[in-house]
């Protein structure tokens, strides 16, 4: 394979507060756009990158896999340094290497880990205000985890599907889902290969109602079976959600859950 056909596989980390999401959209600034502009500023070449996951507006990423075509003679380490020089402060390349022949960051992914962070205290956060949802009231994590177990597995998630979701099918599989407490934080972790638009945030909004004892875990089963978005809870704010990792190895994916 010639240099012009090779792909560079990078891992991107970003705070999504100022962006309309990953994907390029007219009239708004996306993470994809600033990455491609940084590549053009460094190399003088326009190129289209391919990411493993399309995060929504305001959603963050700790580990987003992206491929860029190597249309230059730059080695991956040089691309890492050059891209970071041209990228804004809220987007950073944390690793770069040659992609394996035929590698596709979206198609080859075996699983994804998303985490939603709730700041569960009387006072609002200061330093993490852009990356969590502040909730003052007590949350019953035992009830929330019972609801998580109901939603785990393969289901029709129409009740948790965003209004503008373009997926052909509402059937998705959640491999693992749980809520844990760490100091003033409640962490909601979910693992699966793919998710519907706003699915994770709609599930979390519903789990919060369970945690507040507005609904029982059994109510969540009825919501799921109802296949109607109007039955479920609110959409949790985007700022609390973060794409934590994309997995390409089944063994490491299973070990992480």
Q: Could you give the residue numbers annotated as active site?
A: 56
DSSP state of 95: E
- What b/e string do you get for 186-214 counting C-beta neighbours within 10 Å, with b at 16 or more? bebbbbbeebbbbbbbbbbbbbbbbbbee
The owner of tokens 């200061």 is 126
The pair of structure tokens assigned to 40 is: 């053009």
| Residue 202 to residue 240: CA distance in whole angstroms | 12
The owner of tokens 């491929």 is 67
Counts of helices then strands in the chain (DSSP H, E):
6, 10
DSSP state of 180: E
Residues 34/215, Cβ–Cβ less than 8 Å: no
Cα diameter, the chain? 60
Q: What is the CA angle 154-213-225, rounded to 5?
A: 30
Strand partners, 133: 118
| Residue 113 to residue 201: CA distance in whole angstroms | 14
């Amino acid at each position: 394979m010639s240099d012009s056909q090779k792909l560079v596989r990078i891992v991107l980390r970003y705070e999504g507060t100022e962006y309309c999401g990953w994907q390029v959209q007219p009239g708004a600034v996306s993470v994809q756009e600033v990455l491609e502009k940084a590549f053009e500023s460094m190399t003088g070449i326009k190129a289209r990158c391919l990411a493993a996951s399309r995060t929504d507006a305001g959603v963050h990423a700790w580990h987003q896999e992206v491929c860029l075509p190597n249309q230059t003679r730059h080695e991956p380490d040089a691309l890492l340094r050059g891209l970071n020089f041209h990228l804004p402060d809220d987007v950073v390349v944390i690793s770069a290497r040659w992609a394996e022949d035929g590698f596709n960051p979206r198609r080859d992914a075996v699983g994804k880990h998303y985490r939603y962070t709730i700041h569960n205290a009387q006072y609002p956060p200061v330093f993490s205000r852009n990356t969590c949802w502040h909730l003052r009231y007590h949350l019953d994590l035992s009830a929330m985890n019972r609801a998580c177990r109901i939603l785990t597995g393969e289901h029709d998630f129409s009740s948790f599907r965003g209004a503008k979701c373009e997926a052909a099918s509402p059937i998705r599989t959640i491999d693992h889902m749980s809520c844990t407490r760490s100091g003033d934080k409640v962490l909601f972790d979910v693992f699966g290969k793919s998710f519907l638009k706003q699915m994770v945030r709609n599930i979390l909004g519903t789990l919060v109602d369970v945690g507040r004892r507005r609904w029982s875990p059994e109510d969540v089963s009825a919501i799921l079976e109802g296949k109607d978005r109007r039955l479920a809870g609110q959409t949790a704010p985007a700022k609390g959600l973060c794409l934590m990792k994309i997995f390409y190895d089944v063994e490491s994916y299973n070990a992480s859950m």
